[in-house]
Amino acid sequence: MSSRPVPSPAPLEPPPGDTLEALALQLKDELAAVEVEIQKNLMSQVPSVTQIATHIVMSGGKRLRPILCVLAAQALGYRGPRVLSLATAIEFIHTATLLHDDVIDNAQLRRGRPSCNAIWDNKMSVLVGDFLYCQASSLIARDGDLKVLRSITDATTSTTEGEVLEITKSRDLRLGEAEYFKIVEFKTGMLMACATQVGAILAGATPDQEKALADYGMHLGIAFQLADDVLDYVSVEAEFGKEKGVDLKEGKITLPLLYALERCTPAEREVIRDGTISARRDSFLKVLEVLKKYGAIDYALGLAARRSADARRSLAALPESPAKAALLKLGDYVIQRKK
């Protein structure tokens, strides 16, 4: 049994002006241009493809990865048009993974709305996810930068590997923190690191600057996922946009569960095991009580806060700018968000 101290939890209420919406205001022109690029590249000769792709892409996503790409480029002085198409490509890759995730998980909601597979069917959702991957590939090919291509290809490969690893470890109570963090790095961290690395490449960054921004994106992505793991247990469902306990119901062994499993009694371990195979509300509530007993929520929030701090420290050598200031604030946003 581990004797690690429980880190202090991150604050749950974001300070005024540090919401993603507030931070995006300084990028309103760039993000509007990204939206134009997104909508242009959703068009297909097959109306159903356009309809389904539009439903998921325009369903209220945060556009966090395009924001990261644009801010990373601006932090080093680049404001050219290439960032629009590449930010769009990264958003399409992210959205394609969501479509495929919803099929795998049989999810009925996405961002508080019926998922594509709930409205249409699994076959259509998978194929439209493939369409988005193809559109992303086309945008990257038209850009023509092999370094950008390598970064995005590596991130896409890692994201897929992370998803497969997570599925193979589903309901496996023997999962350790090292494997858990490998899943998180691959599934979430790599694409955010890619977004900031691509922005750095576009700006002609030095190797040290490129690494700093890629490290920032990785730490931020891990903090984001840790906060997401916590929200699955403590969110307000109307704000979170999906039912609480979905990860548990799907058998995902996230950090709060891992922390409790290291400390709980054999009887409590069976409570957790039952929670991963049962869709009953009372099973979720029993698991939540075990997590609270051992401080698992606070532990996960504390690690999220540490990763957020690591992200901010990664930017230390970058020149001061409004874009850098926004990136620093994003480090707070990802651990304070409610959805």
Domains of the chain: 20-336 (1.10.600.10)
The token duo for 33 is: 């241009």
The pLDDT value given to residue 36: 95
Are the beta carbons of 252 and 165 closer than 8 angstroms?
Answer: no
CA distance 159 to 162: 5
The pLDDT value given to residue 285: 94
3-state secondary structure at position 110: strand
The token duo for 251 is: 């058998």
CA distance 210 to 72: 9
CA distance 193 to 191: 5
Identify which of 61, 60, 75 has the alpha carbon closest to the alpha carbon of residue 27.
Answer: 75
Question: Residue 4, by phi and psi: left (phi above 0), alpha (psi -120 to 50) or beta?
Answer: beta
HSE-CB for 197 with a 13 A CA cutoff: 23
What is the distance, to the nearest Å, from the Cα of residue 49 to the centroid of all Cα atoms in its chain? Answer: 25
The pLDDT value given to residue 276: 94
CA distance 182 to 301: 18
The pLDDT value given to residue 14: 36
* Count of CB atoms situated within 10 Å of the CB of 309: 16
Identify which of 207, 63, 94, 89 has the alpha carbon closest to the alpha carbon of residue 142.
Answer: 89
Identify which of 181, 195, 157 has the alpha carbon closest to the alpha carbon of residue 62.
Answer: 195
- Give the relative orientation of helices 47-57 and 122-143 as an angle to the nearest 10 degrees: 80
HSE-CB for 50 with a 13 A CA cutoff: 9
N-terminal to C-terminal alpha carbon distance within the chain = 33
Q: Which residues contact 301 (CB under 8 A, 6 or more apart)?
A: 7, 9, 10, 226, 227, 230, 335
Q: Residue 250 — φ and ψ, nearest 5°?
A: -85, 0
Are the beta carbons of 139 and 41 closer than 8 angstroms?
Answer: yes
Q: Encode the chain (339 residues) as per-residue pLDDT tens digits.
A: 333 333 333 333 333 445 777 777 889 999 999 999 999 999 999 998 899 888 888 777 889 999 999 999 999 999 999 999 999 999 999 999 988 887 777 776 676 677 787 778 788 888 889 999 999 999 999 999 999 999 999 999 999 999 999 999 999 999 999 999 999 999 999 999 999 999 999 999 999 999 999 999 999 999 999 999 999 999 765 555 566 788 998 899 999 999 999 999 999 999 999 999 987 889 999 999 999 999 999 999 999 999 999 999 999 999 999 999 999 999 999 988 876
CA distance 32 to 278: 44
Q: Which residues contact 159 (CB under 8 A, 6 or more apart)?
A: 93, 97, 186, 187, 190, 191
Taken in order 219, 336, 325, 159, is the CA torsion positive or negative?
positive
* Count of CB atoms situated within 10 Å of the CB of 325: 15
The token duo for 212 is: 């700093």
Identify which of 136, 4, 150 has the alpha carbon closest to the alpha carbon of residue 57.
Answer: 136
